[in-house]
Amino acid sequence: MMNNKGTLIAFETNTAKLGNLRRRAERAGATNIKTVNVEGLQEYNGRADCVFIDAPCSGMGVFRRNPDAKWRLAAKDISELAAKQKSIIREYSGLVKPGGRLVYATCTISREENEEVVRGFLEENKDFYVVSPSEINPELFEKFTTEEGFFRSLPHVHDMDGFFGAVMKRRHDNAE
């Protein structure tokens, strides 16, 4: 989509996945992807146009494809994941420059891991606000946009896996 213009910086805590990404990008001819480890991210503080967080989650949105997974999930797992997600969104939001976007996504339908994480983040970070996905692309996102301005797909409603997404924009200043 970027036509090899600009720079896409990929970060993954799992080094094997990062290596796999490098190989897949090379095969696809994507020359504008740079992979970095955790220590290398600090140089990008306040410089990113967009930060996409694919948060680790309970995976409840994909239970219809993986029904046995629900038997391995305990209530405490969701609370622990939500705490980890809150930490991740806090830490990596600092990479977003003024006027840039922060996108938070999960493959779960758990409100504790989704809306509650985002609401808590927004309460602590007044320099971010929600941008409705239907404002970005009405044709594509209208049927998935909630009243609160989040993206949500539900297996029993949309005949697909359950996903959640929130697009937030960092204010340029207090006037925006």
Structure tokens at 132: 């409705």
Handedness of CA 162, 62, 104, 23 (dihedral sign): negative
Catalytic residues: 107
Handedness of CA 66, 21, 170, 167 (dihedral sign): negative
Count of residues for the chain? 176
77 to 12, 52, 71, 113, 123: CA distances (angstroms): 21, 23, 12, 11, 24
Q: Beta strands 48-54 and 33-36: pairing type?
A: unpaired
Nearest partner of 37 among 15, 7, 8, judged by Cα: 15
